[in-house]
A and B are shown apart, each in its own frame.
Chain A
Amino acid sequence: DTAVSQTPKYLVTQMGNDKSIKCEQNLGHDTMYWYKQDSKKFLKIMFSYNNKELIINETVPNRFSPKSPDKAHLNLHINSLELGDSAVYFCASSRQLKETQYFGPGTRLLVL
């Protein structure tokens, strides 16, 4: 009964490819987030959706596009992958905006 799940867990791909990461939460939460954690373990917010509406869109290249088909899902599509996109991407959800967040297991992306 995973609360926040992400697929895939690992993603190895070539530069220039397009890839998607999927996230689902079964907690009934209204808010979902995408974070990027770099090799130094620094965690940066990328996007936040509340009730399927984009709330936070940090300074992220427009190659990154989130999509929320419903409250339980927030997917991340990345176009034209670059070496610097290699990182761990975490999805998270919270009951409401700015409440305690529950994190998914992470997707380890390696761009070659």
Chain B
Amino acid sequence: ELKVEQNPLFLSMQEGKNYTIYCNYSTTSDRLYWYRQDPGKSLESLFVLLSNGAVKQEGRLMASLDTKARLSTLHITAAVHDLSATYFCAVDIKMDDKIIFGKGTRLHILP
């Protein structure tokens, strides 16, 4: 069964701290996406990771992909309140036409 698992599903943290969200998947893929959704809003693309070892950074967010371990991470550095949102990873299934979304990580950063 195809699975995309995000960990943790809920995270409450203090401003200024660092933390990592994990995205594990159970099938072969060489492309992975991260999206952000603010409460009551739509999803917007953050990163697309296209190959093993890919690393992308934007501000306090950094995403990486290890296709051999079937793992992507989204690292938050010195969190600020504005980063409070739900973060989704989405995995491109190599042998299929689908992209499968994880359940999302609801991140709440306390001011």
Binding site for B on A (CB under 8 A): 40-45, 48, 55-56, 90, 92, 97-106
Contact = CB atoms under 8 A, between A and B. Distances in A.
Interface stretch (B11-19, B40-48, B55-63, B65-73): B40-48
A87 to B, nearest CB: 14
A97 B96 CA distance: 11
B97 A100 contact: no
B97 A43 contact: no
B101 interface: yes
A105 B45 CA distance: 14
Greatest chain A CB density within 10 A among B35, B48, B99, B104 is at: B99
Interface residues of B, number: 21
B13 to A, nearest CB: 19
Which 5 pairs from chain A and chain B are nearest by CB? A103-B43, A103-B42, A43-B101, A100-B45, A105-B42
B25 interface: no
Q: Considering residues A43, A55, A97, which has the most beta carbons from chain B within 10 angstroms of its beta carbon? A: A43
A90 B103 CA distance: 15
B45 A41 contact: no
A112 B42 CA distance: 24
B42 A90 contact: yes
Given A97-B97, A98-B31, 9 more contacts: A41-B104, A45-B99, A56-B97, A90-B42, A100-B33, A101-B99, A105-B41, A105-B42, A106-B42
